[in-house]
Copies of this chain bind each other. A is one copy, B any other.
């Protein structure tokens, strides 16, 4: 999944490789979407900033993942900004040549449909979580989604690869609330905290812990 494009294919259809330093912005929210992108190396963050400067993280993208497609296909403006969280290389793709690529590669076209579908499901899930659930429920839903998304089997534990600040910015909570809620979840045996790292326990581990 999410490795639909080989470097050769991208070059063949006119994609250009761009280098970004850590912290550098690739595009800003409300700019017209003239291109879309695929991460070759490093990691990109898509985030929205409110007028008061509050950040909401729409997603992280790394090796082989594409981003920025929705406004590109819908011919609209980017709803969020894209920033490199570390030194990164991304392929930059323009419209006409890419439509040719899709026309000539059905499997890629279908794969892209699937990628967008998966992302839509993530957004739907998070939207109903953030809209109606409280802090602990939101955090649990996000962590279990991440675990499943990374292909970790249910019976294994999962080290949450984000800081509390990042979890806060993905769930619409404040960092203090995440810290406090995670602590409560530890007491409830849902997670374990070892040297600051959050371990999401499997059901089996939860039962063992209770004994």
Size category of the binding interface on chain A: 35 or more
Known: A128-B50, A132-B56. A71 touches B117 (CB 8 A): yes
Chain B residues near A73: list those with CB within 8 A.
Answer: 113-114, 117
| Docked complex Cα distance between A50 and B133 (Å) | 8
Interface residue ranges of A101-123 to B (CB < 8 Å): 102-103, 106, 109-110, 112-114, 116-121, 123
Known: A48-B128, A70-B121, A131-B56. A103 touches B102 (CB 8 A): no
* Residues A131 and B172 in contact, CB atoms below 8 Å apart: yes
* Residues A70 and B128 in contact, CB atoms below 8 Å apart: no
Known: A112-B113, A120-B120, A133-B50. A127 touches B56 (CB 8 A): yes
For the complex formed, measure the closest distance between the CB of A43 and the CB atoms of chain B, giving whole angstroms. Answer: 19
A153 at the interface (CB under 8 A from B): no
* Residues B131 and A171 in contact, CB atoms below 8 Å apart: yes
Contact of A58 among B70, B117, B128 (CB under 8 A): B128
* Residues A70 and B124 in contact, CB atoms below 8 Å apart: yes
A64 at the interface (CB under 8 A from B): no
Q: What are 10 A-B pairs at a CB distance below 8 A?
A: A58-B124, A58-B127, A71-B121, A74-B118, A102-B110, A103-B106, A112-B113, A119-B120, A123-B127, A126-B127
